[in-house]
């Protein structure tokens, strides 16, 4: 498992999700097979055909001081909460600011800010717009705020690739460290898009589940009865560090961020390519980039959004590139789909799976779909083997983005 | 009925606290928004808009830049 490159390790984890306001509560709820989905009780629910979503378990405005929260978009609020947890977890006393970077993106950016600001503009005029409207709506806002907070001067970046954003950010961060631009990078994804316009727009694509009578059973990757994804919100952030930097300061290392593979479908703006060619290419490249073989991969946190089109073809791709031996988990069955935040929280889960040697379950798989020939971890979590093992987190996005991030155990 | 200086000061203190988190008790007439209270220009715009709503006075942009101390705002509102 050597590529002759600088080794990048994970030294900090942070998350705020529909399952919990931090990593520990999210992870225990995930292992317990809980659903983060609830009914929409907001007054706009009558305007949309989907009556449920996976709202953040802890509202960020309850955690952040009010003067701070009011100048942040909700996606920025989530990212700051998760980044602070990850940064505290990494316990870095001192790092050269010119060797510290941030890569945090969002699929949609400050969409709720844009819509609320436009209402203010129409009703009250430009003079009543918050002077923070622009930094709140820009999709690089979360990265900017985190960069200011930690004092990152090596570069602050925001990748944007729809639902692959979080994973792409982590991949970019690995490359920043490997290329010598930084020693430490705070990386991940965030999203806050639960708004009737977004739900209406995704529903117009027929992409969302409308299982309104059973909201917590709606997100069901690989189940024959799946009818679309469930919209979630939140953020997941990693602190990545060169192994040398981490070892020098005696940091606790949770996993090795072994490598990343990117590809693109070049097929359709919003539908998966039916043979899985792009997905296979991304996973193959992740293996090459990490110096791993399919046999090393014991666990896959699959993208598996619970849409009819994408779930099965991903497993076909996993079987072809990696084999049918890894334990494959679909954690969106519990968290819902955090869009740009998904790759962030699912990388957190993948790291924890390696560190604690346990693959989370996939709830609501009552009737496994035809053509799924990999080992899906259903209801109960399952143990991962001892020894040196590896795992992959897959994330794909509208636009045809395919990203596979590989991690290995310590 | 015109507000007293104390009433205006209390109103400004409340606004500054709401927007910046600075305790209202630190908002005293001689304090400079920038130098003493460390309030940036974007927050000053927010404070000015909130003050306009609270006290029903228009603060034009060309006047805002002259309002350096809390006392300047109190005087502007009183006059």
Instruction: Report the chain A residue with the minimal C-alpha distance to residue B50.
Output: A128
Q: How many C-beta neighbours within 10 Å does residue A94 have?
A: 5
Per CB-CB distance under 8 Å, the chain A contacts of B23 are none
Q: Is A120 on the interface with B (CB under 8 A)?
A: no
Q: Is B21 on the interface with A (CB under 8 A)?
A: yes
Q: In this structure, are residues A103 and A134 in contact, taking their beta carbons and an 8 Å threshold?
A: no
Instruction: Report the chain B residue with the minimal C-alpha distance to residue A133.
Output: B42
Q: In this structure, are residues A237 and A344 in contact, taking their beta carbons and an 8 Å threshold?
A: yes
What is the pLDDT at residue A4? 77
Judge whether residue A390 has pLDDT over 70. Answer: yes
Q: How many C-beta neighbours within 10 Å does residue B25 have?
A: 8
If one compares A1 and A220, the residue with the highest pLDDT of the two is A220
- Mean pLDDT of all residues in A245-264: 98
Do the chains contact at A127 and B49, CB–CB below 8 Å? Answer: yes
Query: A29 lies in a domain?
Result: yes
* Three-class SS of chain A: CCCCCCCEEEEEEEEEECCECCHHHHHHHHHCCCCCCEECCCHHHHHCCCCEEECCCCCHHHHCCHHHHCCCCHHHHHHHHHHHHHHHHHCCCCCCHHHEEEEEEECCCCHHHHHHHHHHHHHHCHHHCCCCHHHHHCCCHHHHHHHHHHCCCCEEECCCCHHHHHHHHHHHHHHHHHCCCCCEEEEEEEECCCCHHHHHHHHHCCCECCCCCCHHHCCCCCECCCCCECEECEEEEEEEEEHHHHHHCCCCCCEEEEEEEEEECCCCCCCCCCCCHHHHHHHHHHHHHHCCCHHHEEEEECCCCCCCCCHHHHHHHHHHHCCCCCEEECCHHHHCECHHHHHHHHHHHHHHHHHHCEECCCCCCCCECCCCCCEECCCCCEECCCCCCEEEEEEEECCCEEEEEEEECC
What is the pLDDT at residue A2? 57
Closest CA to A56 of A39, A40, A78, A41: A78
pTM over 0.90: yes
Q: What number of H helices and E strands is found in chain B? A: 4, 0
Which of A67, A127, A128 lies closest to B19 in CB terms? A67
- Mean pLDDT of all residues in A262-287: 97
Instruction: Report the chain A residue with the minimal C-alpha distance to residue B58.
Output: A127
Distances from the Cα of A242 to the Cαs of A101, A287, A319, A410, in angstroms?
12, 20, 32, 14
For the question of residue A163 being annotated catalytic, the response is yes
Q: How confident is the model at residue B79 (pLDDT cuts 50, 70, 90)?
A: confident
Query: A34 lies in a domain?
Result: yes
Maximum Cα–Cα distance for chain A, whole Å?
63
- Mean pLDDT of all residues in A367-394: 97
Q: Is A325 on the interface with B (CB under 8 A)?
A: no
Query: A2 lies in a domain?
Result: no
Distance CA(A8)–CA(A255), nearest Å, equals 9
Domain B5-78 in CATH: superfamily?
Answer: ACP-like (1.10.1200.10)
- Mean pLDDT of all residues in A221-250: 98
What is the pLDDT at residue A5? 86
Query: A3 lies in a domain?
Result: no
Which of B20, B21, B42 lies closest to A132 in CB terms? B42
Query: A221 lies in a domain?
Result: yes
How close are the terminal C-alpha atoms of chain A, in Å? 12
- Mean pLDDT of all residues in A356-382: 97
User: A318-367 pLDDT, tens per residue?
Assistant: 999 999 999 999 999 999 999 999 999 999 999 999 999 999 999 999 99
User: A162-192 pLDDT, tens per residue?
Assistant: 999 999 999 999 999 999 999 999 999 999 9
Question: Domains in chain A: how many in total?
Answer: 1
What is the pLDDT at residue B2? 79
Grouping H, G, I as helix, E, B as strand and the rest as coil, residue B65 is coil
Do the chains contact at A67 and B45, CB–CB below 8 Å? Answer: no
Judge whether residue A115 has pLDDT over 90. Answer: yes
In angstroms, the separation between the Cα of residue A118 and the nearest Cα of chain B is: 17
User: B33-77 pLDDT, tens per residue?
Assistant: 999 999 998 999 999 999 999 999 999 989 998 999 999 999 999
Q: Is A125 on the interface with B (CB under 8 A)?
A: no
Judge whether residue A31 has pLDDT over 70. Answer: yes
What is the pLDDT at residue A69? 96
Q: Give me the residue spans of the domains in chain B.
A: 5-78
What is the pLDDT at residue B61? 87
Distance CA(A168)–CA(A399), nearest Å, equals 13
Q: How many C-beta neighbours within 10 Å does residue A114 have?
A: 17
What is the pLDDT at residue A1? 52
Instruction: Report the chain A residue with the minimal C-alpha distance to residue B18.
Output: A67
In angstroms, the separation between the Cα of residue B69 and the nearest Cα of chain A is: 21
- Mean pLDDT of all residues in A153-164: 98
Q: Is A69 on the interface with B (CB under 8 A)?
A: no
Judge whether residue A388 has pLDDT over 70. Answer: yes
Query: A343 lies in a domain?
Result: yes
For the question of residue A267 being annotated catalytic, the response is no
Judge whether residue B1 has pLDDT over 90. Answer: no
Do the chains contact at A131 and B46, CB–CB below 8 Å? Answer: yes
Judge whether residue A3 has pLDDT over 90. Answer: no
Which of A65, A128, A131 lies closest to B21 in CB terms? A65
Do the chains contact at A70 and B42, CB–CB below 8 Å? Answer: no
Query: A276 lies in a domain?
Result: yes
For the question of residue A303 being annotated catalytic, the response is yes
Do the chains contact at B18 and A132, CB–CB below 8 Å? Answer: no
Which of B18, B21, B42 lies closest to A131 in CB terms? B42
Look up the domain containing A167 and give its range.
8-408
Q: In this structure, are residues A352 and A203 in contact, taking their beta carbons and an 8 Å threshold?
A: no
Distances from the Cα of A345 to the Cαs of A21, A253, A284, A287, in angstroms?
12, 18, 23, 21
User: A116-132 pLDDT, tens per residue?
Assistant: 999 999 999 999 999 99
């Amino acid at each position: 498992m050597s590529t002759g490159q600088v080794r990048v390790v994970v030294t900090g984890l942070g998350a705020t999700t529909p399952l919990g306001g931090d990593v520990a509560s999210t992870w225990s709820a995930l292992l317990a097979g809980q659903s983060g989905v609830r009914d929409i009780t907001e007054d706009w629910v009558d305007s949309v055909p989907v009556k449920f979503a996976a709202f953040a378990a802890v509202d960020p405005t309850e955690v952040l001081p009010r003067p701070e929260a009011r100048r942040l978009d909700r996606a920025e609020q989530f990212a700051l909460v998760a980044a602070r947890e990850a940064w505290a977890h990494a316990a870095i006393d001192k790092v050269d600011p010119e060797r510290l970077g941030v890569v945090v993106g969002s699929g949609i950016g400050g969409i709720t800010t844009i819509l609320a600001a436009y209402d203010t503009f129409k009703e009250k005029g430009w003079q009543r717009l918050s002077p923070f409207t622009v930094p709140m709506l820009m999709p690089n806002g979360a990265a900017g705020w985190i960069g200011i907070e930690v004092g990152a001067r090596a570069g602050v970046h925001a990748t944007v690739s729809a639902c692959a954003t979080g994973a792409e950010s982590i991949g970019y961060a690995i490359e920043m460290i490997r290329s010598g631009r930084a020693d430490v990078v705070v990386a991940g994804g965030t999203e806050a898009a639960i708004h009737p316009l977004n739900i209406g727009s995704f529903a117009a694509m027929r992409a969302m589940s409308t299982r309104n009578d059973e909201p917590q059973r709606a997100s069901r990757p690989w189940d024959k009865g799946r009818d679309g994804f469930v919209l979630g919100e939140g953020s997941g952030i990693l602190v990545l560090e060169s192994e040398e930097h981490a070892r020098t300061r005696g940091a606790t290392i949770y996993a090795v961020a072994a490598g990343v593979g990117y590809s693109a479908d070049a097929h359709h703006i919003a539908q998966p390519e039916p043979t899985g060619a792009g997905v296979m290419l991304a996973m193959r490249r992740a293996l090459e980039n990490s110096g791993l073989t399919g046999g090393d991969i014991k666990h896959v946190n699959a993208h598996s959004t619970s849409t009819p089109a994408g779930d099965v073809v991903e497993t076909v791709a996993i079987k072809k590139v990696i084999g049918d031996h890894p334990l494959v988990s679909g954690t969106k069955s519990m968290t819902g789909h955090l869009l740009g935040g998904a790759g962030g929280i699912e990388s957190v889960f993948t790291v924890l799976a390696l560190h604690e040697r346990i693959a989370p379950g996939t709830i609501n798989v009552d009737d496994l779909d035809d053509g799924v020939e990999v080992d899906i971890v259903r209801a109960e979590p399952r143990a991962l083997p001892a020894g040196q093992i590896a795992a992959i987190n897959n994330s794909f996005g509208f636009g045809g983005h395919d990203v596979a991030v590989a991690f290995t155990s310590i | 009925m015109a507000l007293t200086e104390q009433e205006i000061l209390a109103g400004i203190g409340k606004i500054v606290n709401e927007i910046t988190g600075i305790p209202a008790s630190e908002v005293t007439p001689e304090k400079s928004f920038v130098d003493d209270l460390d309030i940036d220009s974007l927050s000053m715009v927010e404070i000015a808009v909130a003050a306009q709503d609270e006290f029903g006075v228009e603060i034009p942009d060309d006047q805002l830049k002259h309002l350096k101390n809390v006392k300047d705002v109190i005087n502007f509102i009183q006059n």
